Amino acid sequence: MAKKLVTLTVNGETHELAVEPRELLIYVLREKLRLTGPHVGCETSHCGACTVDLNGKSVKSCTVLAAQADGAEITTIEGIGKPDALHVLQEMFREHHGLQCGFCTPGMITRAYRLLQENPTPTEEEVRFGISGNLCRCTGYQNIVKSILAAAEQMNAMKEAAE
């Protein structure tokens, strides 16, 4: 199959890649760029384990073609925080036991990262609605919701302190 050249800016780094037109973004990220944070849980866009941030929107990268993402800015879990500078969400998920097996976690945090930019002061109901495209089999969501609300609070406090 003839390949197509695409340019993806992932976590701030620009890559030129030759991909098959049918190649899914998730496999390009995982197998070509070795960003194995986003996972494949269903391949039908139900579970959200593959969630990444694409041009400022949460997308399920198992149902986006890499060719469609040509020229896009993409953020994966690997770009959200660094070992010596974790994102507040990453800290709060640990603090409030918002994860167990860890398989949904990268997608969940990546979704929450966008959600809190869309709505920096969400109610519990808004968080529950906002992450309803991301499934978790381990936690029953209660502590995930708690983690996201705690992160929102901290981020707002930090913002206030900076102003």
Element (H, E) at 5: strand 4-10
Q: Least CB distance from residue 76 to another protein, whole Å?
A: 7
- What does the angle CA 88 – CA 85 – CA 47 come to, to the nearest 5 degrees? 50
Alpha helices in 5-104 (DSSP H): 25-27, 88-95
Q: Least CB distance from residue 163 to another protein, whole Å?
A: 28
Binding to another protein by residue 116, rule CB under 8 A?
no
Residues 72-111, mask of contacts with another protein (x by CB under 8 A): ----xxx--x-x--x--xxx-xxx-x-xxxxxxxx--x--
Binding to another protein by residue 129, rule CB under 8 A?
yes
Give the separation between CA 135 and CA 90, rounded to whole angstroms: 18
Note whether 98 and 146 are within 8 A (CB): yes
Binding to another protein by residue 122, rule CB under 8 A?
no
Phi and psi at 85, nearest 5°, equal -150, 75
Binding footprint of another protein on the chain (CB under 8 A)? 20, 22-23, 27, 30-31, 34-44, 46-47, 49, 76-78, 81, 83, 86, 89-91, 93-95, 97, 99-106, 109, 127-129, 131-145
